[in-house]
Structure 1
Amino acid sequence: MTDNTPHPSDDPSLDEGSVVLDAKGLRAMAHPVRVQVVGLLRKHGPSTATRLAERLGVNSGTASYHLRQLGAAGFVEEDTERGNARERWWRSVHRSTWFNDPELADREPEAALAYQQSVASIYSLRTRQTLNELQTMPRVWRERFDLSDWALRLTPEETAALYQELGDVIGRYRRDTPENAATAPAGAERVGLITHILPELNTPAPEERAP
């Protein structure tokens, strides 16, 4: 999860299970495989390099390398209750990742761009995976699938207000902690909601039509 809110401590989505990227973390996460590894561990729980490699379509040596780098940066850790001398199990340390520092992006432009491009490509991959699975889902869930976009004309302040309002609505439905998961009603399933705010500067305003 990325976010450009100037004051992350004010965001209700941030809790002790969230991590805000600093320079070291940004550089560590500036690789698409590492972003995917962390995402898989958060979604599916602890795993091994071999299992992750199968999901990612890479060899186990590549997966092991990225797990070690993520471990050194504090994003994953060994699950000692599952591991043994032959096979190491890994788990995610956090539930979500936030990137909130425009000044850090200015200081580390290449790492910031690489990280954000990795996140964007994974969002696209998740969409394609859902599309591939859509026809096998119950009809009630197929009817809830949606791909929409809107062209808005906003000031930076209005954009920030819109982002906050969307966050408030989403926050009412979040049950991604063990404590909140128990409150989900019967029939609740995991649903991915991906938001993009894409400034498209220098796009001319639509011309008014003559009466």
Structure 2
Amino acid sequence: MYLSGMTRDVRRYSPGPEALKALSHGDRLKMLGILRLHGPQTATGLAEQLGLNSGAASYHLRQLAKHGFIEEAPELGNARERWWRSAHETTWTEDTAAPGTPEAESMGGYLATVIERQVEMLFASLPAHAGLPAEWRRASNASDGTFWLTAEQAYELSERLTAELVRMQAETPPVTEPGPEGTRRFTVQIHAFPHPGLPGAKETP
């Protein structure tokens, strides 16, 4: 069990535009998420979980490996089937590309896929919510707020929120390992963006 004050090194990956483009595919992002949450898997196992044929799963795994997101786990494999594991715990990106560039296009596609997956996970959690013990329902949250901020203030707020996730990740065991007694995997999502305005109205810059 991790004790208060203990920290660990968290493996992070900052992919380039081509790697982000390769990850901008729903099934690949789901595969990477499964490997990061549940540990090594085979193409056959992932295909069954995602409703794919094994050939498609193998292709997506090769693409993820080509761009550095995953790696083989040879100690688990055999002559018949290869096992794959995540090469890192977290994908770390910063959107600084100039609008209209290939880099911006790659980032946009990646963000769209990530947000789609996050919303999917959020909706998947709802059916079980009412049946959760009171302490876990109390721990869940769906808050939001809209404020007048400068770009600098907005960046500072986003950085503070992200820093708390980074701190928590470093102070808890990897999610692929068994958790300490009384714990369960708990997901926190952060969405921060300039308000798009009301439908048909133009938001003041």
TM above 0.5, one fold?
Answer: yes
Q: Distance in 1 between matches of 2:166 and 2:63?
A: 32
Q: Secondary structure at the match of 1:108?
A: helix
Match of 1:144 in 2: 139
In the alignment, is residue 18 of structure 1 matched against residue 12 of structure 2? yes
Match of 1:10 in 2: none
Q: Distance in 1 between matches of 2:29 and 2:123?
A: 17
Distance 1:143 1:40, change over 3 A: same
- TM-superposed deviation, 1:76: 0.9
- TM-superposed deviation, 1:43: 0.4
Match of 1:62 in 2: 56
Bigger mean CA offset, 29-38 vs 195-204: 195-204
Q: Secondary structure at the match of 2:143?
A: coil
Structure 2: runs of 5+ lacking an equivalent: 1-8, 197-201
In the alignment, is residue 99 of structure 1 matched against residue 93 of structure 2? yes
Contact 1:38 1:92 in 2 (8 A): yes
1:27 partner letter = K
In the alignment, is residue 127 of structure 1 matched against residue 84 of structure 2? no
- TM-superposed deviation, 1:65: 0.8
2:203 partner letter = T
Q: Distance in 2 between matches of 1:170 and 1:68?
A: 30
- TM-superposed deviation, 1:131: 1.0
Q: Secondary structure at the match of 1:77?
A: strand
Aligned length: 188
Q: Distance in 2 between matches of 1:128 and 1:16?
A: 28
Distance 1:104 1:93, change over 3 A: farther
Q: Distance in 2 between matches of 1:176 and 1:196?
A: 23
1:35 partner letter = L
In the alignment, is residue 34 of structure 1 matched against residue 28 of structure 2? yes
Q: How does 1:1-211 map to 2 (within 5 A)?
A: 17-103=11-97, 106-174=101-169, 175-178=171-174, 186-200=181-195, 202-203=202-203
Distance 1:73 1:173, change over 3 A: closer
- TM-superposed deviation, 1:204: 5.6
Superposed CA RMSD in Å reads 2.5
Contact 1:22 1:104 in 2 (8 A): no
- TM-superposed deviation, 1:16: 5.9
- TM-superposed deviation, 1:171: 4.0
Contact 1:32 1:115 in 2 (8 A): no
Contact 2:95 2:107 in 1 (8 A): no
1:188 partner letter = T
Contact 1:23 1:104 in 2 (8 A): no
Structure 1: runs of 5+ lacking an equivalent: 1-14, 206-211
